[in-house]
Amino acid sequence: MTLSDRLKLARSTLKLTLQTVEERTGIGLSTLSEFENGKREPRLIQLKQLADAYLRPISFFLEEGAVTPQVVLWRKKPESPRAEELHARLIRLGEQYHHLEMVCNAHEPCDLPFHSGPAERFGYPQAEKLALQFRQLMGLGERPGETLLRVLEEVCKIKVFHLDFEPSGSAACTLSDSFGAAILLNAKNVRWRRNFDLAHELFHLLTWKTFRSAGEAQAVEASEAEEKFATCFARNLLVPPEVLRVAVDEALAKQDGKLKFDDFFEIARQFDVSVEVVIRHIGFVYRKPTDWANAVLDQLRSQIGFWDSRVSETPSALPLRFHALARQALRHGLISTGKYAQYVGVSRREAMQLVEQDTEDDASIEVAHP
């Protein structure tokens, strides 16, 4: 593809009009049209403006050959054009993270035990088994919700980002040949909801090679069956059935064989998941009728809404390791202050102040051997 082709593709992918690009970049409408028609080429500063507007690296526009689309799998795809923007931002964040790893000589490939096998032979038993195997392999213990995010980031090398978007019940993931696996969670959601979404997206990554096929659209939604398997996996990973039985049986023994709302809440708190997840999983583990969970949820709906809206910290958009690598790269002159500011979302002035501070604080400390 030519430069003009790539400029047109980058804009159309985000569903931006030339008028919108003109407003964002200050480049005239007729000039933008000439760029896309191949009548003239943008200067470097103009290309940088367009790259920023299209959430692409400059290198994307200078490469030769066909463009390989990067698939992003959505739980519930946001409305267009927000979906396209989030798609591009997730890919861009993954690329920036990878760039920081490479310049800091700190790259480690994604390490996931991918499931293999045909999709038509995958069912609920396989989802349950996969959850058990992953929990045991990673040593997640009896209450994985407490450590899942750290394990996925530090051990499995998955890049996890948090952004604000609608609908709140959505999340996304992608698996890239260049930067590895990445997950996008909704920063608006409370921690226990993010835990479930994290486990849900983990399933899609583990089974990516089972359910994804070549030639898929760039932004897709999983099938209804695949989503149900992901929910089954997430429940069994975060709330191990054998541990749940112990917690429920202990509560039943104290309440003469009945569970009160406080019991559901206490169990949910222990596993760091929502009350609804606990109720539905109890119904599954104890083989209750299919409408049992819905009946309990209807009865406790007002209380569930109150407890599940407990105050929860707002996560950083970028992982702590991303910030650490960016600062390390800046300190050692591996990236410019402008690029640092762009990567971490601060002003160039703030980046310069950080450089000055690090210069003043730069010192080595000797630690003697015992």
pLDDT in tens, 179-213: 999 999 999 888 889 999 999 999 999 999 999 87
Residue 39 domain boundaries: 1-67
Residue 150, both tokens: 């750290």
Note if the bond before 81 is cis, omega within 30 degrees. Answer: yes
Question: Are residues 125 and 25 part of one domain?
Answer: no
> SS3 for 11?
helix
Domain total in the chain? 4
**Where do the H-state alpha helices sit in the chain?**
3-13, 18-25, 29-37, 44-53, 58-62, 82-103, 124-137, 148-154, 191-206, 208-211, 224-238, 241-254, 261-271, 275-285, 292-299, 301-307, 320-331, 337-344, 348-361
Q: String of b and e for 248-268 (b: at least 16 CB within 10 Å)?
A: beebeeeeeeebeeebbbbbb
Whether residue 114 is found in the same domain as residue 218? yes
Q: What pLDDT is stored for residue 356 in this prediction?
A: 78
232 and 108 in a common domain: yes
Residue finishing a domain among 182, 205, 238? 238
Model pTM? 0.89
pLDDT on residue 361: 54
Q: Based on the domain organization, do 36 and 106 belong to the same domain?
A: no
- Residue 290 forms part of a structural domain: yes
Low-confidence stretches of the chain (pLDDT < 50) are none
Q: Are 53 and 18 in the same domain? A: yes
* DSSP one-letter code for 220: E
Give the C-alpha separation, 282 to 131, whole Å.
Answer: 17
